[in-house]
């Protein structure tokens, strides 16, 4: 196969040339590929759908990690569900004030494979002493754990597939249970332009459990369709009204460089295009 | 009453060929000729120019057959999660598949999407509603019922809406936000003449034109299904005469209609030969009984489910023939391959050859009596 053609949608698709195949696994359960593309760097696809690429993963990971953590301002304990490629862990750990990160990944093979074939995603994050990797079903973990967290990030796959349960009402309920007071959860919620139904569904389900439920967004070039939404759920309405100068102070004090995130982008990302506002009613 | 074709005798080369296969692989066997399979594929492509062919995996769901067809550029008709799973280890993009089962559980739809299959088939409003949750990523073919009077296997009773219902269903789909890409039909398996195909193509063309006037997203796919026959009676089949009217009907379609087809039998039946062995014999009343190691619970299941009498070949060309019965290996009396045929006297160890045994043979074989069934062997 010299070309990867995404099979997410019936009438449209994006095509990436495969310049070199690093890893391919074809079983009756899934088809996973990690390959090189001249414009995108290393690309990982699962069952015909792009999961992550080296060239633009920073956008997704920075926005999912830094928006909730900087909004919170005092996050010490962070939970990541999924994120086996290590990119989310890498971004979360850049916050020196974060003392403990638990990452729950269902398949240890994903982590092993990512360490070997997508080394720039984790960039050593798995070896950080603040990182605690748990191999388990994310739904089981949030249901059973006694641990509590300030920020929960759900970095899952598509709702059609193994990640389905991470979009359920029960998942949102259990995350609320294990959030510390004033905490916030953020979840991957798809490309709204072509998947507006998923925005409505999450809004209904998550909205039952959090008094402040909305979405923020970022444009990720390789998630075809324009703007990707992230669901935001918190009972602390103050988190979304942190003024710009305070966010700037927190960002400067954190003292790391970013390539997409900035305090201005943070605030702007909550401004949703009218079609999403209309869909949310 | 259908007559089964029996060929008596075989050349030295043929005999040596079959016997060496049995020596090497055991018995019973289903021997798949890669060359013949590819020949059938090229033949069909030639007769249906410009038509994308989707192999009906159900006819013979074997990974090697599927791999050979995939490499030749054939696409795939999947109708179950099992068939999707069979495809996964091959390098076939979901783009080269359509999910053709008109009735699906939610799990079936999800499994198809995970496999990258994004085109589905429905024939009624309830089925359409199941797809609402997935409407942003799928395309749908509406199956219409057209019946061939000559089909050996009639599918129009079980599936397909009436042509009169098409417009309403398409408009209902539009209101639900589900995109109908086109129409599909299946006139039945093993048809004797192309009349039903031609009539269906013509009616679908008319329907597409009419309904497109009410749509923002025009329908532009016509799936003409399968049903292309194979020559089980070995009487010589004029393939040009069969396909010419169909080609002509297709040539009359507007250029922006994409035509696809779902051949199964036509591709795989002629490519497979069954070989089984006489395990025992007995004289019972007026008949000489021969007990074979394959039967209607196995490869010959097609005689029951598919209403086919496979052409047989006896290697023994003896002129003196006696009323005989060929029975299968299970304990059931229904397990008879051939009732009341004239055969020379056979010995234990003699081979029975079944021709055109690729479609709905292995596919419908059972595990009755815990018999492992014919081994599938791929040869060049």
Among chain A residues, the shortest Cα distance to B85 is held by A28
Contacts of B73 (CB under 8 A, 6+ apart): none
B154/B160 Cα distance (integer angstroms): 12
Whole-angstrom Cα distance, residue B55 to residue B53? 6
- CA dist A124 and A108 (Å) reads 16
Tell whether the model's pLDDT for residue B1 goes beyond 70.
no
Phi, psi (degrees; rounded to nearest 5) at A77:
-120, 125
pLDDT score of B132:
96
Write out chain A in H/E/C secondary structure.
Answer: CCEEECCCCCCCCCEEECCEEEEEEECCCCEEEEEEECCCEEEEEECCEEEEECCCHHHHHHHHHHHHHHHHCCCCEEEEEECCCCHHHHHHHCCCCCCEEEEEECCHHHHHHHHHHCHHHHCCHHHCCCEEEEECCHHHHHHHCCCCEEEEEEECCCCCCHHHHHHCHHHHHHHHHCEEEEEEEEEEEEECCCCHHHHHHHHHHHHCCCCEEEEEEEECCCCCCCEEEEEEEECCHHHHHCCHHHHHHHHHHHCCCCCCCCHHHHHHCCCCCHHHHHHHC
The fraction of chain B above a pLDDT of 90, given in percent, is 91
Question: In chain B, which residue's Cα lies nearest the Cα of A46?
Answer: B114
Q: Flag if A160 and B179 touch (Cβ within 8 Å).
A: no
Q: What is the pLDDT of residues A140-183, one digit of tens each?
A: 999 999 999 999 999 998 888 888 999 999 999 999 999 999 99
CB contact under 8 A, A197 and B133: yes
Give the predicted TM-score (pTM) of the model: 0.90
Got the DSSP string for B99-158? E--SS--HHHHHHHHHTT--EEEE-SHHHHHHTGGGTTT-EEEEEB----TT-SB--TTT
Active-site amino acid positions of B? 331
A6-44 pLDDT per residue, tens = 999 999 999 999 999 999 987 767 788 999 999 999 999
Residue B152: predicted pLDDT:
84
Mean pLDDT of B92-113: 96
DSSP code for B79: -
Half-sphere exposure of B279 (CA within 13 A, CB side): 14
If phi > 0 it is left, if psi is from -120 to 50 it is alpha, else beta; for residue B373 that is left
pLDDT in the model for residue B317 = 86
Structure-model confidence comparison of residues B237 and A77, the more confident one: A77
pLDDT, one tens digit per residue, over B286-325 is: 999 999 999 999 999 999 999 999 999 999 888 999 999 9
Q: How do residues B224-236 score in pLDDT, each as one tens digit?
A: 999 999 999 988 8
Question: B106: distance to nearest CA of chain A, Å?
Answer: 11
* Rounded Cα distance, A159 and A168, in Å: 9
Neighbours of B206 (CB within 10 A): 11
By the CB < 8 Å criterion, does A12 face chain B?
no
CB A51 within 8 A of CB A127: no
**pLDDT grade, residue A275 (50/70/90)?**
very high
pLDDT tens sequence across A128-138: 999 999 999 99
When CB atoms are compared, the residue of A1, A161, A195 closest to B114 is A161
pLDDT averaged over chain A?
95
Q: Are A227 and A218 in contact (CB under 8 A)?
A: yes
Where residue B136 falls (left for φ over 0; alpha for ψ -120 to 50; beta otherwise) is alpha
Nearest CA in chain B to A31: B88
Contact A194 B114 (CB under 8 A): no
pLDDT digits (tens, 9 = 90+) for A87-104: 999 999 999 999 999 999
Nearest chain B Cα distance for residue A238, angstroms: 35
Give residue-wise pLDDT tens across range B342-352: 999 999 999 99
Q: Is B181 on the interface with A (CB under 8 A)?
A: yes
Per the structure block, which two tokens stand in for A39?
Answer: 């414009």
A85 catalytic residue (yes or no):
no
Residue B8 has what pLDDT? 95
Question: pLDDT tens for residues A246-272?
Answer: 999 999 999 999 999 999 999 999 999
Does the beta carbon of A30 lie under 8 angstroms from any beta carbon of chain B?
yes
Give the active site residue among A155, A169, A197, A212.
A155
Question: A57-72 and A244-254 helices cross at what angle (nearest 10)?
Answer: 110
The pLDDT tens digits for B140-180 are 999 999 877 888 888 888 999 999 999 999 999 999 999 99
Which among B89, B115, B119 has CB closest to A10?
B119
Provide the 8-state DSSP code for B27: S
| B90 interface with A at CB cutoff 8 Å | yes
What pLDDT score does B155 carry? Answer: 81
Contacts of A81 (CB under 8 A, 6+ apart): A104, A138, A141, A142, A152, A153, A154, A155, A156, A166
Say if CB A9 and CB A194 are below 8 A apart: yes
Helix axes B195-212, B166-176, angle to 10 degrees: 50
Cβ contact, residue pair B137, A10, below 8 Å: yes
Name A234's bridge partners. A184, A212
CA distance A213 to B82: 40
**pLDDT reading at A222 higher than 70:** yes
Sheet with B119-122, edge to edge strand ranges: B97-99, B75-78, B52-56, B258-261, B221-223, B180-184, B139-143, B119-122
Q: ∠B12-B6-B299 over CA atoms, to 5°?
A: 95
Cβ contact B118–A194 (<8 Å): no
* Residues in chain A closer than 8 A to B91 (CB atoms): 1, 26
What are the two backbone dihedrals, phi and then psi, of residue B90, each rounded to the nearest 5 degrees? -85, 165
């Amino acid at each position: 196969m010299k070309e990867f053609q995404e099979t997410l949608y019936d009438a449209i698709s994006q095509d990436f040339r495969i310049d070199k195949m690093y890893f391919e696994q074809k079983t009756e359960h899934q088809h996973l590929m990690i390959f090189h593309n001249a414009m995108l760097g290393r690309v990982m696809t699962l069952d015909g759908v792009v999961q992550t690429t080296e060239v633009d993963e920073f956008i997704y990971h920075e926005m999912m990690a830094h928006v909730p953590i900087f909004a919170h301002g005092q996050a010490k304990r962070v939970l990541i569900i999924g994120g086996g490629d290590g990119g989310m862990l890498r971004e979360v750990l850049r916050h020196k004030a974060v003392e403990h990160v638990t990452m729950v990944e269902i398949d240890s093979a994903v982590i092993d494979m990512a360490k070997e074939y997508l080394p720039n995603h984790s960039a050593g994050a798995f070896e950080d002493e603040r990182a605690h990797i748990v191999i388990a079903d994310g739904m089981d973990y949030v249901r059973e754990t006694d641990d509590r967290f300030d920020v929960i990030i759900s970095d899952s796959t598509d709702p059609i597939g193994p990640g389905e349960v991470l979009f359920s009402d029960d998942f949102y309920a259990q995350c609320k249970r294990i959030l510390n007071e004033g905490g916030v959860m953020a979840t991957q919620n798809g490309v709204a332009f072509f998947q507006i139904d998923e925005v409505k569904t999450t809004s209904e389900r998550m909205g039952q459990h959090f008094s402040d439920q909305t979405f923020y967004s970022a444009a990720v070039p390789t998630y075809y369709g324009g703007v990707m939404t992230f669901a935001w759920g918190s009972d602390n309405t103050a988190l979304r009204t942190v003024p710009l100068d305070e966010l700037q102070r927190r960002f400067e004090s954190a003292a790391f460089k970013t390539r997409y995130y900035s305090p201005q982008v943070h605030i702007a990302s909550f401004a949703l295009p009218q079609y999403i506002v209309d869909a949310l009613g | 009453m259908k007559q089964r074709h029996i060929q008596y005798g075989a050349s030295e080369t043929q005999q040596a060929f079959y016997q060496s296969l049995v020596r090497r692989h055991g018995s019973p066997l289903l021997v798949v000729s890669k060359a013949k399979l590819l020949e059938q594929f090229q033949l069909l492509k030639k007769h249906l120019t410009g038509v994308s062919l989707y192999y009906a995996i159900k006819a013979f769901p074997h990974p090697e057959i599927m791999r050979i067809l995939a490499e030749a550029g054939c696409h795939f008709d999947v109708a179950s999660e099992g068939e999707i799973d069979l495809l996964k280890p091959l390098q076939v993009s979901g783009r080269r598949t359509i999910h053709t089962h008109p009735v699906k559980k939610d799990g079936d739809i999800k499994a198809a999407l995970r496999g990258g299959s994004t085109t589905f088939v429905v024939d009624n409003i309830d089925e359409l509603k199941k797809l609402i949750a997935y409407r942003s990523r799928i395309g749908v073919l509406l199956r219409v019922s057209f019946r061939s009077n000559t089909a050996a296997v009639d599918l129009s009773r079980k599936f397909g809406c009436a042509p009169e219902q098409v417009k309403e269903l398409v408009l209902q789909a539009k209101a639900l936000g589900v995109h109908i890409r086109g129409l599909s039909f299946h006139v039945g398996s093993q048809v004797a003449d192309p009349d039903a195909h031609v009539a269906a193509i013509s009616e679908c063309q008319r329907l597409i034109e009419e309904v497109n006037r009410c749509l923002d997203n025009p329908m532009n796919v016509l799936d003409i299904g399968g049903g292309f026959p194979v020559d089980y009676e070995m009487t010589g089949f004029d393939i040009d005469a069969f396909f010419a009217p169909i080609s002509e009907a297709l040539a009359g379609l507007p250029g922006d209609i994409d035509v696809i087809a779902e051949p199964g039998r036509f591709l795989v039946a002629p490519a497979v030969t069954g070989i089984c062995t006489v395990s025992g014999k007995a004289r019972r009343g007026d008949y000489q009984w021969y007990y074979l190691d394959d039967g209607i619970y196995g490869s010959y299941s097609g005689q029951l489910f598919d209403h086919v009498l496979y052409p047989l070949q006896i290697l023994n060309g003896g002129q003196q023939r006696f009323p005989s019965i060929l029975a299968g290996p299970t304990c059931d009396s229904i397990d008879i391959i051939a009732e009341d045929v004239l055969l020379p006297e056979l010995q234990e160890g003699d081979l029975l050859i079944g021709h055109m045994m690729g479609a709905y043979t292995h596919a419908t074989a059972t595990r009755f009596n815990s018999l492992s069934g014919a081994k599938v062997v791929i040869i060049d």
